[in-house]
Amino acid sequence: MYCTVLYCTVLYCTVLYCTVLYRTVLYCTVLYCTVLYCTVLYCTVLYYTVLYCTVLYCAVLYCTVLYCTVLYCTVLYCTLLYCTLLYCAVLYCTVL
């Protein structure tokens, strides 16, 4: 009788220990996977945010350079046109 009670107690403790161990491993695995998922998600969002901002910055820089180039060429063209017309006017007045 004593051996049976002892055996059942040891068996109960072993089952309880294994159950607690199983739940602990399961909990740690779920926690690890959740942290890993959140880390990957955070890194992905960060990567795409940086990529978006870089593309946006480059687009704004390109448009600014393009605008300044067009503005410079327009001013240069207008200056040359004005100087040419002024030169022709002076030449015309001198010939008369």
Position 4 scores a pLDDT of 86
Position 24 scores a pLDDT of 96
Residue 95 has pLDDT above 90, yes or no: no
CA dist 20 and 41 (Å) reads: 31
Structure pTM?
0.57
DSSP output for the chain: -HHHHHHHHHHHHHHHHHHHHHHHHHHHHHHHHHHHHHHHHHHHHHHHHHHHHHHHHHHHHHHHHHHHHHHHHHHHHHHHHHHHHHHHHHHHHHH-
Per-residue pLDDT tens digits for 55-67: 999 999 999 999 9
Q: Give the end-to-end CA distance of the chain in Å, rounded to a whole number.
A: 141
Position 81 scores a pLDDT of 95
Amino acid identity, residue 9? T
Residue 39 backbone dihedrals phi, psi, to 5 degrees: -65, -45
Position 36 scores a pLDDT of 96
